[in-house]
Amino acid sequence: MVKKECVAMLLAGGQGSRLGVLTRHVAKPAVPFGGKYRIIDFTLSNCANSGIDTLGVLTQYQPMALNAYIGIGSPWDLDRRHGGVSVLPPFVRADGGEWYKGTANAVYQNIDFISAYNPEYVLVLSGDHIYKMDYAAMLEYHKERKAAATIAVIGVPWEEASRFGIMDLDEEGRIVEFAEKPDEPKSNLASMGVYIFNWSVLRQYLEADERDAESANDFGKNVIPRMLNAGEPLFGYRFEGYWKDVGTLESLWEANMDLLGDAPELDLNDRHWRVYSVNPTQPPQYIASEACVHNSLVNEGCMVYGEVQHSVLFPGVKVGRGSVIRDAVLMPNVEIGENVTIQHAIVGTSTTIDAGAVVGTPRREKKLTVIGELNAIGPKAVVSGIFDR
Amino acid sequence: MLKNVMGIIELGESDEFLKELTLHRSLAAVPFGGRYRLIDFTLSNMVNAGIRNVGIFVKHQYRSLMDHLGMGNEWDLDRQRDGLFILPPPKPLERDSTSEHDVDLLYPHLDYLERSREELVFVSGTSMLCNMDLTDVLDFHRAKEADITMLYSSNGDTRLASPGSTFLNVSEDGRVHDIEVGPLHPSTKNVSMKMFLMKKNLLMGMLDQAESRGDKHLVKDTFIKHLRDMRIYGYPFEGYVGRINSLESYFGCSMDLLRPEIWQELFFSSGSIYTKVKNEPPVRYNEGCTVRNSLIANGCVIEGHVENSVLFRGVKVHKGAAIKNSIIMQKGEINSNALLEYVILDKDSTVTNGKHLLGDRKYPLVIAKRTIL
């Protein structure tokens, strides 16, 4: 096999249980985002734009939609003769085989995959963050510092720091302390779940971690602390820019809303850093004479006859006459009848909402409404909160 | 499934009527409908019906077409066997405004026809836009035991007939008993769609005959001679047909897409219309924009006013700009306080602050590619 300098491993097996009704049928990385994409597109596009051409995607929970979506990877230029994308589910071996027990164990079980490319470095990514990042620049930093591992970190508001894995760096950027969700954080630099390891070093630690029966086999909880305690040179790589963990329904809704406004922090229109995705075959959208669309993202195949304010519409969404959509995310093929009101809500794929229904409550009430996939909301129904049949 | 049918798209049609739009591209590659090129419609109809071998017989100016088609993967035509073949003439043909020399395009590639395994061939131009289930045509062809099945529009749209049209006189059982090519006073309303289905061997024989006799036009010189001794049938297509044979009709067909029933029919009725994808983000509607009765493709950013118009991918409409009854092609940029009415703005063009451009419905103003006004 042709040697690769860097192989990426993308952890996409998590259920994302905090996304509730939206991850009943698909894994979190496959959840639709931003009017066109799925969450995993951002990480895959980062790889494409950073020149990473060898990537394993570790799947486990509800992998069907994700597998079908990734296919042979052509939307991200990952259909390669050498390398490219490989979907790696857990598998059976001569001595049994088991589910992926944790993030580190998932990579451990695929040591053969990585070794086949004989890489210098392994880039570990997660498929549930929205951001645009040049991994090549991070790899340069990693090489310059002669680090055993480099962890990407981002400054978060101090009051939120205790929700993250927090890194304390010295002046050189070396990690002196790592604390998972600390009560009293010493720094506001949070781990982004993006790691670069020297493969020879990581391999040893994965094997050691596997021998430790007490370990939860997790990078953040076990492998990184073990490396830190052993005195390995670990460095933090400060990332500037938009980064969002969309692990909860609220954060998913917020991240969608972050794309709106005249100058959003995450620029989807940047031709130098395209976000690639599988393009649905849909004609341009039709905006009718009586329609009114403001401050929104609307995708191909939509037909809008009503009013759309501060919302995100995925492909094939229909909005009937007299309906008002405000602060909402309407996933693919949602059909809204006439005189429907939707506020502060996420509506799952292919759900229909009949005439006169009222979904959600005004944003000031701070109660997000979420309707799962393939639901049918009857005429004049009133729905708020989490709803799934 | 049309497993035993190959497709031929011949680009011999004249295209000078589109002026600046066909200066650097053939008719087949003319952008249409916000994200397509004219060839996408007939090519998608073919692959939707299961045709897996398509030869595209190009005449001239085909760089943009080749860029658009690539390896054919958008149409699933990147196959190990068969797939997409682009067949240019052995030596360049002059652009000719008066005649459509399909024999000159097809004859040099008899080898390709010979080597193809399919028994039947479906031949189409690119000036007629429709969404059609070609399996119905094959069923008709078989039921009539026809030698040739020619397609014509029976939807009564009077815009389709024009001095250059070909008309089919069809008897009640569907047999074509007369063909009129470009009559001033046609004796029927059945406008030929320049699409036909026939045996591949029959086509090859006819091409050989035509070439050896100096004939240039398959229908006019060959089909007409065989109206008596061959079973030539007319297949009536009742659906929407857009016909591009003038600037006015190009504009008219584009505006037809603003009728939701036509949008629905042309893009969805018997299959999807495929095109080259561009990875553009969703359309961004900013605060203060007004958009009415318009077709907007991905990648557009709209801050101004857009009415009764078609915007292609990646168009920017700045604050205070107004676009009415116009077609703005890919990456057009309309700056503040510009006003456009009845304008066709070709790709990558910019209208600077405060410019007013006015055309007429009968005579839209065409602005060539990469113009800065």
Q: What does the alpha-carbon distance between residue A29 and residue A23 come to, in Å, rounded to a whole number?
A: 9
Burial of A228 (0-12, 13-18, 19+ CB in 10 A): middle
Looking at CA atoms only, how far is residue A15 from chain B in angstroms?
Answer: 27
Nearest to A148 by CA among A226, A222, A215, A54: A226
pLDDT at B365: 94
Inter-residue contact A28 to A19 (CB < 8 Å)? yes
Which run of H or of E encompasses A292?
Answer: strand A292-294
Model confidence over B299-318: pLDDT tens digits?
999 999 999 999 999 999 99
Residue B146's contacts (CB-CB under 8 Å, 6 or more residues apart) are B140, B197, B231, B232, B233
Q: B279 and A279 in contact by Cβ < 8 A?
A: yes
Q: Which long-range contacts link B19-24 to residues 24+ away (Cβ below 8 Å)? A: B19/B247, B19/B366, B20/B346, B20/B366, B20/B367, B20/B368, B20/B369, B21/B247, B21/B250, B21/B344, B21/B346, B21/B366, B22/B61, B23/B368, B23/B369, B24/B61, B24/B64, B24/B369
Interface of B with A in 11-40 (CB under 8 A): 33-35
Burial of A352 (0-12, 13-18, 19+ CB in 10 A): middle
Inter-residue contact A73 to A79 (CB < 8 Å)? yes
Q: Does A287 touch chain B (CB under 8 A)?
A: yes
- B251 and B196 assigned to the same domain: yes
The answer to whether residue B276 is domain-embedded is no
Residue ranges making up the domain that contains B309: 284-367
Model confidence over B24-49: pLDDT tens digits?
888 999 999 999 999 999 999 999 99
- B16 and B139 assigned to the same domain: yes
Q: A298 and B311 in contact by Cβ < 8 A?
A: no
Residue B212's contacts (CB-CB under 8 Å, 6 or more residues apart) are none
pLDDT at A180: 84
Tokens 């066709």 sit on residue: B344
- B238 and B110 assigned to the same domain: yes
Confidence of residue B98 (pLDDT cuts 50, 70, 90): very low
Inter-residue contact A254 to A329 (CB < 8 Å)? no
Q: Does B286 touch chain A (CB under 8 A)?
A: yes
Looking at CA atoms only, how far is residue A293 from chain B in angstroms?
Answer: 7
- B71 and B134 assigned to the same domain: yes
Measure Cα distances from B56 to B65, B85, B243 in Å.
10, 6, 20
Domain total in chain B: 2
* ipTM of model over 0.95: no
- B148 and B65 assigned to the same domain: yes
3-state SS, residue B173: coil
Q: What does the alpha-carbon distance between residue A137 and residue A141 come to, in Å, rounded to a whole number?
A: 6
Pairing of strands A296-298, B232-237: unpaired
Model pTM score = 0.92
The answer to whether residue B275 is domain-embedded is no
Confidence of residue B62 (pLDDT cuts 50, 70, 90): confident
With left for phi above 0 and alpha for psi between -120 and 50, is residue B284 left, alpha or beta? beta
Nearest to B122 by CA among B155, B89, B150: B150
- B132 and B176 assigned to the same domain: yes
- B163 and B42 assigned to the same domain: yes
- B29 and B128 assigned to the same domain: yes
3-state SS, residue B211: helix
Of A284 and A61, more confident: A284
In this prediction, residues A130-159 reach a mean pLDDT of 96
* Chain center to CA of A197: 21
The answer to whether residue B171 is domain-embedded is yes
Nearest to A277 by CA among A26, A33, A37: A37
The answer to whether residue B277 is domain-embedded is no
Inter-residue contact B314 to B35 (CB < 8 Å)? no
Q: Name the residue type at position A324.
A: V
Q: Which among B268, B302, B319 is the end of a domain?
A: B268
Smallest Cβ–Cβ distance between A297 and the set B282, B289, B292 belongs to B282
Tokens of B91: 């030596």
- B224 and B161 assigned to the same domain: yes
Q: Does A283 touch chain B (CB under 8 A)?
A: yes
Q: Does B263 touch chain A (CB under 8 A)?
A: yes
Interface of B with A in 53-92 (CB under 8 A): 73
Task: Provide the CATH number for the domain around residue B202.
Answer: 3.90.550.10
Model confidence over B162-200: pLDDT tens digits?
878 899 999 999 999 999 998 888 999 999 999 999 999
Inter-residue contact B51 to B7 (CB < 8 Å)? yes
- B148 and B264 assigned to the same domain: yes
3-state SS, residue A151: strand
Q: What does the alpha-carbon distance between residue A249 and residue A240 come to, in Å, rounded to a whole number?
A: 25
Smallest Cβ–Cβ distance between B260 and the set A292, A303, A308 belongs to A303
The answer to whether residue B279 is domain-embedded is no
Inter-residue contact A102 to A216 (CB < 8 Å)? yes
Confidence of residue A1 (pLDDT cuts 50, 70, 90): low
pLDDT at A277: 95
Task: Provide the CATH number for the domain around residue B299.
Answer: 2.160.10.10
The answer to whether residue B373 is domain-embedded is no
3-state SS, residue B182: coil
Confidence of residue A262 (pLDDT cuts 50, 70, 90): confident
The answer to whether residue B274 is domain-embedded is no
Q: Name the residue type at position B74.
A: E
Q: B277 and A298 in contact by Cβ < 8 A?
A: no
Which run of H or of E encompasses A142?
Answer: helix A135-144
Residues of B in contact with A293 (CB under 8 A): 285, 289, 291
3-state SS, residue B70: coil
Residue B99 has pLDDT above 60, yes or no: no
- B231 and B304 assigned to the same domain: no
Candidates A295, A300, A311: best to mutate against B (most CBs of B within 10 A) is A300
Q: Does A34 touch chain B (CB under 8 A)?
A: yes
In this prediction, residues A117-142 reach a mean pLDDT of 96
Of A239 and A1, more confident: A239
Residue B228 has pLDDT above 90, yes or no: yes
- B68 and B43 assigned to the same domain: yes
Residue A145 has pLDDT above 60, yes or no: yes
Q: What does the alpha-carbon distance between residue B170 and residue B175 come to, in Å, rounded to a whole number?
A: 6
Q: Which among B213, B237, B268 is the end of a domain?
A: B268
Candidates A44, A259, A297, A298: best to mutate against B (most CBs of B within 10 A) is A298
Q: What does the alpha-carbon distance between residue B19 and residue B24 come to, in Å, rounded to a whole number?
A: 10
Inter-residue contact A190 to A220 (CB < 8 Å)? no
Q: Does A295 touch chain B (CB under 8 A)?
A: yes
The answer to whether residue B242 is domain-embedded is yes
Smallest Cβ–Cβ distance between A297 and the set B35, B272, B284 belongs to B284
Q: Which among B206, B233, B268 is the end of a domain?
A: B268
